[in-house]
Amino acid sequence: MLRALPSILPLSALALALACTPGGPQPQKKEAPPEKTAEAKPSADEARAFVADVDAKLRELTVAASKAEWEKSTNITDATEAAAAKANERLMEYMAGAMKQAAAFDGIDLDPATARQLHLLRVSASPPPAPADAAKREELANLGAKMEGLYGKGKACEGDVCRDLGQLEDVINKSRNYDELLKAWKDWHGIAREIRPLYVRFVELANDGARGIGYADLGELWRAGYDMTPAEFEAESERLWQQVKPLYEELHCYARGKLSEHYGADKVPVDGLIPAHILGNMWAQEWGNIYPLVAPYPGKTSIDVTAALEKAGYDELKLVRLGESFFTSLGLDPLPATFWERSMFTKPADRDVVCHASAWDVDYNDDLRIKMCIKIDAEDMITVHHELGHNYYFHYYYKLPILFQQGAHDGFHEAIGDALALSVTPAYLKQIGLIDQVAGDPEALINQQMRDALDKIGFLPFGKLIDQWRWDVFSGKITPDRYNAAWWELRAKYQGLQPPEARTEEDFDPGAKYHIPANVPYTRYFLARILQFQFHRALCKAAGHTGPLHECSIYGSKEAGARLQAMLELGASKPWPDALEALTGSREMDASALIEYFEPLQAWLKEQNAGKTCGWK
């Protein structure tokens, strides 16, 4: 249920699919604006003309590429992969030239809008900057399409019997048999071996492109898109992690003890690392599926949203309508009719598709869509809210210049839908008729907070380490001969996890996660998991809520909706602290709202873990 970066190209399509890459009309060969001579210092008028030209050309190329990406993602074939690669190659070629030329306007006194667009152009990271050499540029585009295609088509076969990711995930999500889980985990992670050599070459070419526009490597470019220096942003992400780390360690300690009881201390040591395949998720990124094994008060009534949806007769369309109704209750616009006509809600039976949930504005002109293989369960109900959050962001900024058509930073885009999903409280579920009554006892509350924390808190270190690994790969700190070893070192450091069996450098376990072969930056998700609570607290205040933060639902609050819309309309036209201040009154990202939300659970966990050896070596 996750999605994509500080791309300067609008966070649409694969950027939220995640990675915005886009095909359609064939532009002329020379797309980049003419370069200025060294002697002639450009004027402010020339800067404005340059930005206007970039806006027109970039819109043409991104729409073309977005259309090709949509076709590829909803029908994976050699032909659609080739078309997407070609469209992205044209986009990369243009972007590389435009980014270099933007530097000519440094030091000129410009109006704020022009200066902001030039800045955003220079820190654009999606698609990756193209190498100057045409052959390398074509190779980079082809590698991107090939890697994502291998991932989307990946299957584990024994004879004529093959299982795709969805089928293998069903095993990981539901089974409690250690060996059965291990086989499913190994089968999926094995598909990434074919991606490994492609990724090694991809890193070389992407770094070549990044150096061509003045960055040390692609990771430095990624970190430059947050209205601070790359070094400052790396320190900022670590500061936020340190705020939430104590809560994660309490959750890890408690969950490890319960898993050790279930599987045995020989498989899950009570004071060590947890095997990564037993946490109910293929990548151990969210742990909600192991709730039955770790429930604080087994048998105590807690809300089974999946059962309630099934009982109420929800299908895929009705589930999306439910998500839309939340946004419209805040006074926001209904989704356009084309959304319902053009979206992919279910997995087609006749072709391979990328089921990974994503939100799109294919034409960058309110052509809103989602692409999902929806299941009628609690997880996909939240995912629908998340994806519609992207769509509503697209909707409220689509009239801006294309360089402003993105979130204030990429974490904002990811946080919107999830912030609203925090309002899917028991009281809200009762209000819309999914449940009959709201349990009010403390034990039911702890059960519900545990359900939420297994996903939201369990995710935090995973959200941070994926890009930490890539930053080190792009910088050369992690070399190809240590790709897999370094991956598991970081998973041990941040998550307290280990592989379920010995791994070698023939394996490429990072590549078993969509965002690696698709080259979608991931820190956005870490930031979003923190920002969603900061947004939620501010919206609850606007809605007039008093009482514990976890009890707040802003459903139906026009005041909260107005505050939210004011931020959405800004897009990236202002630095993110301005957008954050417009919604929350603060100019600093802060995890204190997350800690406040989970105060009841954190106190309970500390009691349960008293006397235990928490942490890991």
The residues that are catalytic are 356-357, 386-387, 390, 414, 515, 525
- How far is 361 from 352, CA to CA, in rounded Å? 22
Spell out the residues 6+ positions from residue 425 whose beta carbon is closer than 8 angstroms to its own: 550, 551, 552, 553
Per-residue b/e over 437-466, b at no fewer than 16 CB within 10 Å? eeeeeeebbbbbbbbbbbbbbbbbbbbbbb
For 231, 474, 571, 575, 579, the CA distances from 412, given in Å and listed in that order, are 20, 25, 10, 12, 9
* DSSP per position, 545-578: --S-GGG---TT-HHHHHHHHHHHTTTTSS-HHH
End-to-end Cα separation, the chain, in angstroms: 31
DSSP 330: T
Measured CA to CA, the distance from residue 223 to residue 464 in angstroms comes to 13
Distance of alpha carbon 358 from its chain centroid, rounded? 9
What's the CA angle centered on 15, arms 91 and 35, to 5 degrees? 30
> CA distances (Å), 408 to each of 6, 256, 331, 415, in order?
9, 38, 22, 11
3-state secondary structure 232-253: HHHHHHHHHHHHHHHHHHHHHH
Paired strand residues for 368: 361
By C-alpha distance, which of 587, 585, 305 is closest to 421?
305
Q: Is 212 exposed, middle or buried (0-12, 13-18, 19+ CB in 10 A)?
A: middle
In one-letter notation, the amino acid at residue 613 is T
Residue at token pair 């243009």: 94
Residue 61 and residue 80 in contact, taking contact as beta carbons nearer than 8 Å: no
Cα dihedral 316, 319, 321, 325, rounded to 10, equals: -170
